[in-house]
Amino acid sequence: MRILICDDHAIVRRGLVDVISEQMPDCVIGQASCDAEVMPLLERERWDALILDIGLPQRNGLDILRDVKARWPGLPVLLLTVYGEEQYSGRARQFGASGFLTKDAAPDEIIRAIGLISRGATYFVATNTAVPTSLAVAPLPEAPRIPLSEREDQVLKMLSTGLTPGEIAAKLDLSIKTVSTYRTRVLHKLGLSRTGELIAYGIRRGLAG
């Protein structure tokens, strides 16, 4: 098996190499630290799976994922990140990822995820649905208690697709503080308490499409 790891932190790559090598001693492992390194490696060599960090410095892993799946649709991609699942797993699925793990995952879980995606299955933390289990069972409002303004509705839709406040701020030419204010207003009007619930609400209402 041939696995390519793309992460900008050498210590993370080293840890993944050690974990994989210990459990899969015959595995060939390649390493890249950014978009400029991973794409040429994908072009030159055949790989059975790609482990891709979301928080890369030049281009984030989700953007790279879209390019990878456009050119190599059959390549399983496991996203690895320090961020919570409820913030990014929806977009990871939308863009074609085969799995999603946070970087605090146990070695056994990493190996299990690699094994599953290499066999054509998927592996997403805690759930096989687009909405985290803890949110899926929570009652969510069907409509706002107070009508949303046009900008609040826009921010809600963008949050539902998994965009961060920083990404939304850049797209709307607003400050992150302003976007956070809109998010707080939407939470209040919907009677929700956290961003993950907003994302679950948006997915349930079909706002993430």
In order of 86, 131, 134, 140, the CA distances from 197 in angstroms are: 9, 9, 10, 8
* 50 token code pair: 């790609």
33 and 101 part of one domain: yes
Q: Could you give the CA distance from residue 100 to residue 77 in angstroms, rounded to a whole number?
A: 9
Q: Could you give the CA distance from residue 173 to residue 141 in angstroms, rounded to a whole number?
A: 30
Rounded mean pLDDT for each run of 10 residues along the chain, 209 residues in total: 92 87 91 93 95 86 91 93 64 85 80 90 60 41 77 87 79 91 89 70 66
pLDDT in tens, 133-154: 333 334 556 667 778 899 999 9
130 within some domain: no
Q: Could you give the CA distance from residue 37 to residue 130 in angstroms, rounded to a whole number?
A: 31
Domain hosting residue 199, numbered range: 136-204
Count the domains in the chain: 2
Q: Which of 124, 146, 169 is the last residue of a domain?
A: 124
The kind and range of the H/E element at 31 are strand 28-32
162 and 196 part of one domain: yes
What is the number of other CB atoms lying within 10 angstroms of the CB of residue 158?
Answer: 22
209 within some domain: no
Q: Which of 93, 124, 155 is the last residue of a domain?
A: 124
199 and 111 part of one domain: no
